[in-house]
Structure 1
Amino acid sequence: MDRSLTLAAVIAVVLTCCSVIGSGEQLGARECEELGFTGLALCSDCNALAEFVKDQELVEDCHKCCTEDSDDSISKLTFSGAIVEVCMRKLVFYPEVVGFLEEDKDDFPYVEARYSYGSPPKLIMLDDKGEEKETIRQVPLNS
């Protein structure tokens, strides 16, 4: 599978918040933020992430920072958009992100690119008002 398509699939999965049950010990808000998670992700998002990113440590960190899923539909998080934030100088280390930004981003009109000096790749999820609600660190998808 093309790496840029895999990144596109990860973004689509995160935006649609697929459901699968997750578990694990919880970390504090500060530790989660340092890992690139805000604690707003549903644990099912971590399982969906595991299908596309074969980094067990990242998935375990996600589970330590997620919110348990509920059968109550009100508790399900949805996002209206996303920002792919990355440092221009670090892009050479993330060909999957480059591929997505150059070839596939136009297929996702609700996703924009933001270039921030020194920032590792991350996906910032937005609510319907355009406010940042969750940050998910990105890793190379070929691991």
Structure 2
Amino acid sequence: MPNWTSLACLLAVVLVAGSSAVDDKQTKCDELGFIASQVACSDCELLSQFVKDEELVRDCKGCCVQDEAVKKFTKAELIIDQWRASTLQQVKDFIEKRAASYAPHLKVAYTHGATPKIRLSGGVDGAPSETVRIDNWKADHIAEFLDQRLERSAAAAAAVKGGKDKAGSKDKAGGKKNVK
């Protein structure tokens, strides 16, 4: 018969050590500037494409959570000032060429003085709403972000992926095609 006191003590030591390791990781990540519970590992991969600092990318990967933990939402609103929309070419291209393919889940709202951002709401599993600034994002990154975060029907997602290549295509004469 096992010694229950010894087993209970061993279990307590393992739980305390595991909890201490989690606290240590949280503290280390906080010191590095990462919020461990909110950094997806795919964000670290994206970071590695833009910075050549291997140590920073390694630190990011040490603080990230797997992508399946990324929250899903049913609604998104791209909020932007109309004048800013005309000066940020990548955001403007996304609005003109791709935003309609995300309807009815995405709404573009022109608000005077607003910085460009995406507000996600209608969280699946009760996730609270999130707002993310997109000032310097490329049109492809906006689409990728929405593909990751919006919970949509499979048919709608396939239409977006299929229409991505056709949206900006031109005919042989150099004029834009009207593909819908």
Instruction: Calculate the TM-score normalised by the size of structure 2.
Output: 0.41
Say which one has the larger Rg. Answer: 2
Instruction: Calculate the TM-score normalised by the size of structure 1.
Output: 0.50
Greater RCO, 1 or 2 (C-alpha within 8 Å, sep 6+): 1
Larger helix fraction of residues: 2
